[in-house]
Amino acid sequence: MPLLEVDDVVVQFGGVTAVDHASFVAEAGRVTGLIGPNGAGKTTCFNVITGLQKPNRGRVRFDGRDITRLSVPRRSRRGMARTFQRLEAFGSLSVRENVRVARDIHRGIAGLVRPASADVDGLLERVGIAAYADERADSIPTGTARLLELARCLACDPQLLLLDEPSSGLDEQETDAFGLLLARLAAEGRAIVMVEHDMDLVMSVCDEIHVLDFGRVIASDAPGAIRANPDVQRAYLGYSDVDEAEALGEQTMEMVL
Ligand X SMILES: Nc1ncnc2c1ncn2[C@@H]1O[C@H](COP(=O)(O)OP(=O)(O)O)[C@@H](O)[C@H]1O
CB of 246 to Mg ion, least distance (A): 30
The residue range among 38-46, 74-82, 99-107, 179-187 that interacts with ligand X, by the rule CB under 6 A, is: 38-46
Q: Are strands 65-66 and 16-26 parallel, antiparallel or unpaired?
A: unpaired
Query: Per CB under 6 A, does 18 bind ligand X?
Result: yes
CB of 189 to Mg ion, least distance (A): 27
Distance CA 202, CA 27 (A): 16
Distance CA 189, CA 192 (A): 9
Query: Per CB under 6 A, does 228 bind ligand X?
Result: no
Residues in binding contact with Mg ion, number by CB under 5 A: 2
Of 7, 10, 28, 39, which one interacts with ligand X (CB under 6 A)?
Answer: 39
**What residues between 40 and 69 interact with ligand X by CB under 6 A?**
40-44
| Partners of 192 in beta bridges | 31, 161
**What residues between 43 and 82 interact with Mg ion by CB under 5 A?**
43
Of 13, 57, 187, 189, which one interacts with ligand X (CB under 6 A)?
Answer: 13
Distance CA 194, CA 182 (A): 10
Distance CA 20, CA 29 (A): 28
CB of 149 to ligand X, least distance (A): 17
Q: Report yes or no: 66 and 9 within 8 Å, Cβ to Cβ.
A: no
What backbone phi and psi angles, to 5 degrees, belong to 199? -65, -30
The footprint of ligand X (CB under 6 A) covers 13, 16, 18, 36, 38-44
The footprint of Mg ion (CB under 5 A) covers 42-43
